Amino acid sequence: MKTKDLREKSVEELTALLDEQQLNQFRLRMAKATGQLGKSHEVQVARKAVARIKTLLTEKQGNGQ
């Protein structure tokens, strides 16, 4: 998901999306650890998505929005 799209979401929506992405990241890490993950780059993509969401949450909470 692009940052532009994420900026339009509320804090509640971002928090829900963060939970979803963290669960996805966990599943990908477990699949990689057991050798069941064919596309290992997906772990990095998920990690960056989590970081992007956390950054936007920090920005929104810092500005008092």
Task: Classify the phi-psi angles of 37: left when phi > 0, otherwise alpha if psi is within -120 to 50, otherwise beta.
Answer: beta
- In angstroms, rounded to a whole number, what is the distance separating the alpha carbons of residues 29 and 44? 10
**pTM across the whole model:** 0.86
Pair 12, 61: CB distance under 8 Å: no
Residue 30 CA to chain centroid, in angstroms?
Answer: 16
What residue ranges define each of the domains in the chain, with the CATH number in brackets?
A: 10-63 (1.10.287)
- In angstroms, rounded to a whole number, what is the distance separating the alpha carbons of residues 21 and 53? 9
pLDDT one-digit tens code per residue, 2-61: 888 999 999 999 999 999 999 999 999 999 999 999 999 999 999 999 999 999 999 998
Residue type, 60: K
